[in-house]
């Protein structure tokens, strides 16, 4: 495991080589948090109960969503498609280590760094604007960790799959962009998904996207409102089913890509 | 150590037709034969030079031998492994240095890549320190390892590449154009290093280079490849015997003599008094030397083989 710990620490070192870039990136993320936060705050201030969401619960949702967004969705796997195209991936293929573990630990460094900074940002923001800190729902903490773990792995394998598209096409940017838009809407980063009509919500909950964001955030902010609508054990089962599928698909396309890709002239 | 039999590699390359609809929905692929039933064996501690023009199949061969590419057909065995399986035990015994690609982490000092490789190859502290010390001493690069890679010159970076690639003391080293783009001093340093390393660690090395000088200075055995086929596999000296039919006779004349006397040997390729150089057929050498001794007053006479570069160039020309 020592090799992967080194990957982890080196990824952190790389970030510190470009500190300003990283800080500007955090500013962009923070602005991304402010927009929906103030929008929903204004709505819930005027409509006291918006489909079961009050001011306190919407603040709680966006507080935790900012903390967890890049912990779950943040990834370095976006580099992979480019590395396939320019042949840089060859460096990994020649090393006695798992490519999947390598990227998982790289992602982990990225996630932890982003988490610490987002914690600092929201803490400061809530203090400055004297917004009371939301309560953590301790009763559902085990479910929170369960869904958080599911979200982490689902996000990892989904991102890998998108990147492996690079084995077959040089145009990886378009599918990644569509994927990003899909995630933004269907994972619940713009609004809590249980605000949607019941039928649409029941359909979306069958896809892997709500596991990336909505469910972990919901488990720690206001799980009880969700409990009335759906059984958590079935959700966990569905998430595990998606994880198994994505795990095998990622491995399958990795092997197939390596076998068919020519690295010609690279 | 390395055994290759009837190795064939066909690349499928996408060809644009210019018609957008066709290019999206009915893509056309063309087969490109990169290696055509190539066979050879390489034993322990051999240093083999692999030469050929661009697109000859040199790098493709190295990529198959190191497990990057999957062969279309044929048998490949390296250290008893099928390389594409990428078994840890196999990868720990090989190394691939590419002149046009680097494995160093661009934004960090090379020492960080070395530490990462220490973990990846599971080297113990003592072995790592010893190897690092040795390699940095050979390259006089003790200070360079602390400088961010992006601030190193190409030659310095190549030295770091070598250190990163050899810290784990690989048994087989694939070198693909390791001196490309380097100045003559760096080329010399790299060549000397390869020679010393092979001697000290009994490593097997396959070297491809555009600079025949690299191969001449380092390899005893030469494999010439073009259009995916091996044209020659043998010693450097034997290639001259086999494919060269000419010799170069150089003279430093004692005094100016009549052109007719000189030109009786043939038209010289260099004629600038007092120097004259003739390119003659090997079979004519005894008669030519006898004629010179008899008819031409000279201060110095030298007989030289055709340059390997010329022989190789003619080989490629004949194949075309």
Measured CA to CA, the distance from residue A212 to residue A188 in angstroms comes to 9
- Whether residue A266 is contained in a domain is answered as no
| Predicted local confidence at residue A182, as pLDDT | 84
| Predicted local confidence at residue A88, as pLDDT | 87
More confident residue, B14 or B214: B214
Closest B-chain CA to A96: B88
pLDDT tens for chain A, residues 1 to 266:
788 999 999 998 888 888 888 888 888 888 888 888 888 888 888 887 777 788 888 888 888 888 888 888 888 888 898 888 888 899 899 999 999 999 999 999 999 988 898 888 888 888 888 888 887 878 888 889 999 999 999 999 999 999 998 888 877 788 888 888 888 888 888 888 888 888 898 899 899 999 988 899 888 887 777 666 678 888 899 999 999 999 999 999 999 999 887 766 55
| Predicted local confidence at residue B27, as pLDDT | 75
Give the bridge partners for B31, in sequence order: B12
Q: pLDDT tens digits, residue range B95-144? A: 999 887 788 988 899 999 999 999 999 999 999 999 999 888 888 888 88
Measured CA to CA, the distance from residue A253 to residue A250 in angstroms comes to 5
Q: Does A19 touch chain B (CB under 8 A)?
A: no
Task: Give the rounded percent of residues in chain B with a pLDDT score beyond 70.
Answer: 98
A96 and B91 within 8 Å at the Cβ level: the answer is: yes
| Predicted local confidence at residue A138, as pLDDT | 80
CB B221 within 8 A of CB B46: yes
Q: Does A14 touch chain B (CB under 8 A)?
A: yes
Measured CA to CA, the distance from residue B55 to residue B34 in angstroms comes to 8
More confident residue, B312 or B198: B198
Count contacts between A and B (CB, < 8 Å).
Answer: 69
More confident residue, B148 or B28: B148
Inform me whether the pLDDT recorded for B54 exceeds 60. Answer: yes
Domains and CATH numbers, chain B: 2-240 (3.40.50.300), 245-319 (3.30.70)
Nearest to B119 among A6, A90, A94 (CB): A6
- Whether residue A149 is contained in a domain is answered as yes
- Which residues of A fall within a CB distance of 8 Å from B128? none
Measured CA to CA, the distance from residue A87 to residue A94 in angstroms comes to 12
Cα of A251 to nearest chain B Cα, Å: 15
Q: pTM for the full model?
A: 0.82
| Predicted local confidence at residue B320, as pLDDT | 61
| Predicted local confidence at residue B8, as pLDDT | 94
Q: Does A20 touch chain B (CB under 8 A)?
A: no
- Whether residue A32 is contained in a domain is answered as yes
Test the B interface: residue of A21, A96, A171, A256 with most B CBs within 10 Å: A96
Test the B interface: residue of A101, A264, A265, A266 with most B CBs within 10 Å: A264
Domain that holds residue A250: 2-260
| Predicted local confidence at residue A95, as pLDDT | 93
- Whether residue A63 is contained in a domain is answered as yes
Measured CA to CA, the distance from residue B314 to residue B320 in angstroms comes to 10
Give the bridge partners for A218, in sequence order: none
> Residue A92's closest CA among A82, A105, A102?
A102
- Whether residue A123 is contained in a domain is answered as yes
B19-37 mean pLDDT: 80
| Predicted local confidence at residue A263, as pLDDT | 64
> Residue B101's closest CA among B158, B184, B146, B18?
B158
B13 and A91 within 8 Å at the Cβ level: the answer is: no
Measured CA to CA, the distance from residue B218 to residue B198 in angstroms comes to 10
What is the Rg, in whole angstroms, of the alpha carbon atoms belonging to chain B? Answer: 25
The token pair at A200 is: 């649409």
- Whether residue A265 is contained in a domain is answered as no
> Which residues of B lie inside 8 Å of A (Cβ-Cβ)?
11-13, 32, 34, 63, 66-70, 84, 86, 88, 91-92, 94-96, 98, 101, 103, 105, 107-108, 112, 115-116, 119-122, 148
B116 and A3 within 8 Å at the Cβ level: the answer is: yes
- Which residues of A fall within a CB distance of 8 Å from B98? 90
- Which residues of B fall within a CB distance of 8 Å from A18? 107
- Whether residue A94 is contained in a domain is answered as yes
The token pair at B156 is: 């310095």
Say how many domains are in chain A.
1
| Predicted local confidence at residue A151, as pLDDT | 93
Strands B275-281 and B270-272 come out as antiparallel
Measured CA to CA, the distance from residue B122 to residue B116 in angstroms comes to 10
- Whether residue A76 is contained in a domain is answered as yes
Q: Does A262 touch chain B (CB under 8 A)?
A: yes
Test the A interface: residue of B64, B78, B101 with most A CBs within 10 Å: B101
DSSP B127-158: HHHHHHHHHHHHTT-TTGGGSBGGGS-HHHHH
A90 and B68 within 8 Å at the Cβ level: the answer is: yes
How does the average pLDDT of chain B come out, rounded?
87
- Which residues of B fall within a CB distance of 8 Å from A97? 120
């Amino acid at each position: 495991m020592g090799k992967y710990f080194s990957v982890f620490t080196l990824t952190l070192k790389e970030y510190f080589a470009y500190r300003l870039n990283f800080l500007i990136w955090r500013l962009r993320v923070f602005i991304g948090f402010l927009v929906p936060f103030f929008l929903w705050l204004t709505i819930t201030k005027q409509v006291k109960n918006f489909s079961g969401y009050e001011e306190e619960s919407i603040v709680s949702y966006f507080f935790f969503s900012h903390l967890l967004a890049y912990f779950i969705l943040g990834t370095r796997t976006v580099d992979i498609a480019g590395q396939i195209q320019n042949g840089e991936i060859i460096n990994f293929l020649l090393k006695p280590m798992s490519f999947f573990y390598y990227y998982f630990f790289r992602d982990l460094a990225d996630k932890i760094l982003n988490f610490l900074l987002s914690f600092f940002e929201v803490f400061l923001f809530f203090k400055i604007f004297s917004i009371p800190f939301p309560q953590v729902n301790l009763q559902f903490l085990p479910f929170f960790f369960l869904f958080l773990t599911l979200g982490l792995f689902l996000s990892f394998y989904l991102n890998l799959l998108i990147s492996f598209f690079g084995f077959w096409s040089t145009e990886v940017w378009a599918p990644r962009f569509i994927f990003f838009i899909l995630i933004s809407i269907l994972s619940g980063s713009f609004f809590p998904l249980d605000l949607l009509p019941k039928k649409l919500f029941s359909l979306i909950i069958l896809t892997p996207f709500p596991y990336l964001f909505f469910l972990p955030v919901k488990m720690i902010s206001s799980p009880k409102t969700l409990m009335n609508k759906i059984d958590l054990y079935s959700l966990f089962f569905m998430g595990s089913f998606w994880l198994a599928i994505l795990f095998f698909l990622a491995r399958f396309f990795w092997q197939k890509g390596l076998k068919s890709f020519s690295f010609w002239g690279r | 150590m390395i055994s290759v039999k009837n190795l064939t590699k066909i690349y499928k390359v996408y060809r644009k037709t210019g018609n957008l609809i066709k290019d999206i929905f009915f893509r056309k692929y063309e087969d490109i034969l990169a290696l055509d039933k190539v066979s050879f064996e390489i034993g322990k501690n051999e240093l083999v030079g692999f030469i050929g023009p661009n697109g000859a199949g040199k790098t493709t061969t190295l990529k198959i031998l190191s497990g990057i590419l999957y062969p279309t057909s044929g048998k490949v065995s390296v250290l008893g492994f099928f390389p594409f399986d990428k078994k840890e035990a196999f990868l720990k015994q090989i190394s691939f240095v590419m002149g046009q690609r680097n494995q160093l982490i661009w934004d960090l000092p090379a020492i960080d890549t070395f530490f990462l490789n220490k973990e990846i190859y599971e080297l113990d502290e003592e072995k790592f320190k010893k190897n690092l010390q040795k390699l940095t001493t050979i390259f006089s690069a003790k200070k360079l390892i602390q400088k961010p890679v992006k601030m190193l010159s190409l030659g310095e970076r190549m030295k770091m590449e070598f250190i990163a690639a050899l810290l784990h003391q690989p048994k087989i080293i694939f070198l693909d154009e390791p001196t490309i783009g380097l100045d003559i001093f760096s080329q010399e340093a790299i060549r000397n290093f390869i020679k010393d390393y092979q001697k000290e660690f009994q490593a097997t090395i396959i070297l491809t280079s555009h600079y025949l000088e690299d191969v001449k200075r380092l390899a005893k055995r030469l494999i010439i490849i073009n259009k995916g086929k091996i044209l020659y596999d043998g010693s450097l000296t034997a290639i001259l015997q086999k494919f060269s039919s000419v010799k170069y006779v150089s003279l430093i004349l004692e005094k100016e003599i009549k052109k007719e006397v000189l030109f009786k040997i043939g038209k010289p390729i260099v004629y600038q008094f007092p120097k004259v150089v003739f390119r003659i057929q090997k079979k004519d050498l005894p008669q030519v030397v006898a004629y010179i001794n008899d008819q031409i007053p000279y201060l110095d006479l030298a007989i030289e083989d055709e340059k390997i570069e010329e022989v190789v160039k003619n080989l490629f020309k004949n194949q075309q």
